[in-house]
Amino acid sequence: MIMSRRTTGLAIEAEGLRRSFGKTRALDGIDLRVPAGTVYGLLGPNGAGKTTAVRVLATLLRPDGGRARVFGHDVVEEADAVRSRVSLTGQYASVDEDLTGAENLVLLGRLLGLRKPAARERAERLLAAFGLTEASGRQVKKYSGGMRRRIDIAASILNTPDLLFLDEPTTGLDPRSRNQVWEIVRAVVSHGTTVLLTTQYLDEADQLAGRIAVVDHGKVIAEGTPGELKSSVGSGTVHLRLRDPAQRPEAEKLLGAALGVAVQPEADPVALTARVGGDGSDLVASEQAARALGDLARAGIVVDDFSLGQPSLDEVFLALTDHPAADERDDQMEAAR
């Protein structure tokens, strides 16, 4: 059930967005085209400029150069029109931690123009849908990390926005809480809200996003569907653990033949690693891996553990740039370039 009134055309259109903080060029000419009604991933390491991009698009920060439109409205000139259609869940809690969960939602409901009873009712239903009824009367500062994220997202969809910004919604969450957030994001987008999601994890962008822009040093260095990005890197890595270390040389040969790539013996005497895919699709990679496993079985080699992993963000970065995903940007290197 897609609400088509909100899902046509482009939700975000940015051209050459630039923004500096002193000497740091946080945004160095970003172009984005986000189709409405989809989840769009902004993927990048710490300091890439993800938060800055989100803040510019959400009208919180003025760009130094370039322009951006949200549903056709300029983020600087028509900020109010943009604000009436977007919501932001910031990287750090964007609810009032001194207030209770229920108070936060009622406050926002009132600010969006609901009368007190309507705001209360809306708050109660949101709290229920987000599994926070028990915690509704507790101050948000006493919530767990996962609950905080949920109340934050609940606050953001209070007005059923047309565009929702989620800035690193799962950073710091345990796997279960992360899955909860993913489910929520899927539900939100299935109701026609466009989601711009920033993340440091390719895995997450892959799970949720229809398209991804990889951002580094304030620039988009690659853009496409998750499949396109991954196949530009190679579909991933096969990890094998054998029962008998003595069989490793033979396994290495068989695997190399089946996958057509070089196989690396690891420090662990029973472990082997190989890159698969390269230019093929996921299916081909898994087929290749399956064939390799069959060959090993026929040769009487016992495999205790097998995994076909996706390329990590680091591998994507290595492939797209000539440097690994750096934790902090080095401004001197930047200046020297």
Question: Residue 38, Cβ neighbours under 10 Å: how many?
Answer: 18
Q: Which stretch binds other proteins (CB under 8 A): 25-33, 123-131, 205-213, 304-312?
A: 123-131
Mode of pairing for the β-strands spanning 39-43 and 194-199 = parallel
Please identify which residue in 12, 32, 39, 61 interacts with other proteins, judged by CB under 8 A: 61
DSSP 65-129: EEEEEETTEETTTTHHHHHTTEEEE-SS--S-TTSBHHHHHHHHHHHTT--HHHHHHHHHHHHHH
Q: Does 133 interact with other proteins (rule: CB under 8 A)?
A: yes
Measured from the CB atom, the residue of 159 and 288 that comes closer to other proteins is 159
* 58 near other proteins, rule: CB under 8 A: yes
Residue 38 within binding range of other proteins, rule CB under 8 A? no
Instruction: Rule CB under 8 A: say whether 219 interacts with other proteins.
Output: no
DSSP state of 218: T
Please say which residue, 24 or 207, places its beta carbon nearer to ligand ATP.
24
134 makes contact with other proteins (CB under 8 A):
yes
With binding defined as CB under 5 A, does residue 171 bind Mg ion?
no
Give the C-alpha separation, 319 to 274, whole Å: 16
Q: What are phi and psi of 168, to 5 degrees?
A: 45, 60
> Is 91 a binder of Mg ion (CB under 5 A)?
yes
Query: Where in 15-44 is the site for ligand ATP (CB under 6 A)?
Result: 21, 24, 26, 44
Contacts by residues 229-233 (CB-CB < 8 Å, ≥ 24 positions apart)? 229/202, 229/316, 230/202, 230/206, 230/277, 230/282, 230/310, 230/311, 230/316, 231/277, 231/279, 231/280, 231/281, 232/319, 232/320, 233/311, 233/315, 233/316, 233/319, 233/320
Told to check if 286 binds Mg ion by CB under 5 A, we report no
Q: Considering CB under 6 A, how many residues would be counted as binding ligand ATP?
A: 14
Among Mg ion, ligand ATP, other proteins, none, what does residue 235 contact (CB within 5–8 Å per kind)? none
Q: Which of Mg ion, other proteins, ligand ATP, none interacts with 217 (beta carbon under 5 to 8 A by kind)? A: none
Enter the tokens of residue 280.
């093929």
- Decide: is 51 part of the binding site for Mg ion (CB under 5 A): yes
Which residue among 11, 27, 30, 157 contacts other proteins (CB under 8 A)? 157
Burial class (CB in 10 A: 0-12, 13-18, 19+), 233: buried
Of 127 and 293, CB closest to other proteins: 127
Alpha carbon dihedral 133, 95, 187, 42, in 10-degree steps, equals -150
Sites of contact with other proteins (CB under 8 A): 3, 6, 55, 58-62, 80, 83-84, 86-88, 90-100, 103, 107-108, 110-115, 118, 122, 125-126, 128-131, 133-134, 139, 146, 150, 154-157, 159-160, 176, 180, 183-184, 187-188, 191-193
Sites of contact with ligand ATP (CB under 6 A): 21, 24, 26, 44, 46-52, 91, 200, 329
